[in-house]
Structure formats: structure tokens, C-alpha cells
Structure 1
Amino acid sequence: MKFRPCIDIHSGQVKQIVGGTLQDAPGVLVTNFEATQPSGFFAQRYREDALVGGHVVMLGASPENRAAGLEALKAYPGGLQIGGGITAENAMEYLDAGASHVIVTSYVFHDGKVDSDRLQALVAAVGKSRLVLDLSCRRVAAESGSDARPIYKVVTDRWQKWTDLEVTEATLQELSQHCAEFLVHGVDVEGLQSGIEEPLVQVLAASPIPVTYAGGVRSLEDLERIGELGCNRVDATIGSALDMFGGKLPYAEVLEWHRKQQDGEKR
């Protein structure tokens, strides 16, 4: 299990946002943190600490977000994935700029379902080995019965549009044939520092390819819980809870935890 760092960009600035509030309507957006440093500052920090596989997410299509995303890639070439407005037509631009992978949601999960033609176009453009599918999802309802668990369905377009795609072991198995990794935000707890979506992490443990979970992580205990529920096969990212993003959880402690995890796996 690994800690994967993140850089979320909104209006050209590194921010931490409560995921479910990411809308255009005035007065709806809730922001936990706004950085004074540019995106390259955080990318350089991750580079110095040898953290790989982190993600840059451009929240909204704008020249400012694109410029900040490219700045992060320039600061840490080969060390970061990037998502936000990625299509088959522009994906190579970001890979050429230094991204290790491109992360895609809305382009593939189009009109509420998987668009097979678009997915095939992406694979043809960049190759399966450099494509990450974002299966960020929200709770729908609990199944009936004594062992009821929430149902999670993928959401797109800044997590505001529902699709009919449920995140299940079968979904992970099927889509893994077309990509190298999954990124999954538990949108209902994203940015709230209220604890993780435990049933979702349990589902993600069935992924046949690397998968990163994000949402609600607030402590080292939460990281340990992800490791337990995910059978040490689900990586995790932390945003608002980190002290470098205005939270109380020391980044230095998370980095130390991560390094101990990696040392243990090497033994």
C-alpha cells in the first residue's frame, strides 16, 4: 500500500474543495484551503520526497488551470498523473509535457454510460499502459437485507452528473482490460475529513490493477483502515487533512508512514 499525493487546481490555484459542492452556481462552492504557492511548489516537494503516482486534477476547463497543470508536470516530469478535460485529442499533449498517465472520467463516461468508442479512441491515442480511469462515485442507496451495503455509481462533470455505472467487482474486472489504474474518490466524503467510505474500499480491494482511493482520510488510523479493508492493495491519497493544505495531519508523519510501508514490502 502506498500514499499517493495530490494537487487539485481550481481557477489556476491549488485548492482543497468539498467535493460535492463543486458547481457553477454562486455561493455553493465550499473551499477548505487556497494555497499561496504555485502548483510547481507542491510538485517539487513530492519529487524531493520520491513520491510517485500522485495526481494533478484540473477542476474546470480554463487556461489558468491548464497552465497550472503543465507547471506541475514540468516540476516533476514522469512523477505525476493528470486529469481534467482529457480527451483522445489532447491526451498526448499532457504526456509529452511530462505526465506519467492521463486520468479520464467525463470523456469516457458520457451521457450516463460508458462510451466504448471514446474509450477505444483513448487507448489508441495513448495506450492502455498510460491511461487511468477515474471511477469517482456517490452513494445511491443501501441494498435490502441484513448484510445491506451502499451502492456506488460513477459521477462525472465535476461529480454533478450521475451515470448508470455501478462500482462493483465486475465493473473493475471489465474496465481493467482498457487501462493501467483506477482513481476513485468517495465524493460524498471528499474534503469533509469525516472518515472513509469503508464499503467502497472493500469493493476496490477486488481490483486486478492498481487503484487509489480518496475521500475522508483524516488520520494515520484511516490509512491503516484502508490497508486492512483493501487487503493492502488499495493506495490512498489525502487532501484537506494534511497540514500542507491547512489541515492538522502532519505531512511529515504521512511520509514516514509511507516509507515504513514500502520498507516492509521490500523485506
Structure 2
Amino acid sequence: MRQSGTGKTPKVFNTSYVPPKRLSANGGVSNSLAWRPVVRVLFVVAVIFALSRLPVFKIKQVNIEGADNALLKEELQSLVGQSIFSSTVSRTTERWLRQERSLAALTCHRGLPSSLSCQATMRSPAIIWVQSGREFLVDEEGVLYAEKSGQPLDVPLLEDRVNTDSNLGSQVASREIVEQVIRLKKILSEQSVTTKSLFVADSLYQLGALITSYVGADGQPVQKELTALFISTQPIESQVKALRTLLKERGGSIKERVDLRIPGYVYYK
């Protein structure tokens, strides 16, 4: 006698089977599942916020290095009592970088649970930029950051004759140009060529020197005002060497200027 049944045949699944997502009444994913990631994020944010309010995470000490601005030091010290996670720290550093041109960099590192270490890098003058009779300080990156005042500085004086845009905080020359200006001044001095100032000629790549004296062929100083023109895209050392040789051999014939801007040639008048 054959036995028949009305039950369904059971399904057999392997270990890779993943249960289907529960669907809502309208056929979409269940609302409870859809909200789970949002709930998790909100929970994490709530925990972080609660922890940041704990007294143990209040800033108790601010260490400052490199800053010589009293107001900057005072404001950084005023962060004591703020939460170590507070955005006030980053807002303070960003504002000072915008408003203080002499400040090249300002970074603050949080040390859990309650210390803040700030490192300030102040700009220092590499050259003095002269434009329309006014003198400005320019750092090694070519950034014009302040108008000169006070005592004379032992850095090259560079006169701008091409009227470069020179707003405070702007870069008036590249780092390479600044290095060439410093090198030119140094090598001329080593060759006993005294200059009143250096200047930018037809472009930033053409430098000039206002010479006031040099050592002649007899080893004696010669007082004479001359203009020497150099090209900064070529080695300065070889140009100064050619100038020194010309001054020794034909210094008496030079009345106005020496032009060394064309490699391999020296012109004088």
C-alpha cells in the first residue's frame, strides 16, 4: 500500500546560504534595518561628545615653541580649560596664520588626555626688497611679509625696477631667485667688489649690481661707480669671475656698465 502525503519537500541549503533581507509591507527593505547604520553613527558621536566633556580631557598645559609674538603666546595659553577635542584649537591657528604675515607656520598637536604642544615658525628676512622708495622684508621663500623698520640688517638690498606686485603676504620672487641674490652678494664680496645695492633688471631672471669700488690690477682699491648685469639662469660664479678678470685687465676703460647676461660673452661700455 502506497502512502501519499500533502507536505512540501524540504529545501536543503549549503553553508554559503545567506538569508534574504526582510522586506517591509510595501516590498522594500525593513525600516528597522535601514536605520541601523544611522543609529550606530549617532551613538558613536554621542559617546565622543560625552567623553570630550569629561574634566580629564580639559586642556591643562600648553607648551609653545618658536613664537616671539606676545599676543600669540597669550592667546594660545588662553586655550587652557578648553576641551582637548575642541575645534577652537584649529580655528585659532588658522586665524593667526591669516592675520600674522611674519608667521610662516603654526601647528598644535594634542597630547591625551590634557596637554597641547604648539610649534610656531617665524619668518626671517633673507633680503630687503626696495620698491618706490619703500623697504620690505622678504624671507627665503620669496614672501614679502613686513615693511622694514628699525636698525639696518646685514642682508642683501634688492631694488625692484620692474614694479612686481608686492602686497604683504605675496610671493615676489621664487626661492631660487632669493638664493641667487644672496649668492651674488656673497661672491662679489669675496672678490673684493663692493656694491651699494643689487637690483632686478628687465625681469626677475636678470640681476644687476651697483658697484662702488673694486681692487685693481695693482692690488689697490679703485673707487668707481659701475653697473654690472647678470643672468640668474646661469652659474653666478663664472659670471663674477669674468667680471673680476675684466676689471683687473680693463677696469680703466670701463665708464658705465658691464653686461654678462649672454653666456660666453662680456660686453662693457
Same-fold status (TM-score > 0.5) = no
Greater radius of gyration (CA): 2
Q: TM-score, normalised by structure 1?
A: 0.22
Q: Which has the higher contact order (CA 8 A, sep 6+)?
A: 1
Question: If each structure's helix is expressed as a fraction of its own residues, which one has the higher value?
Answer: 1
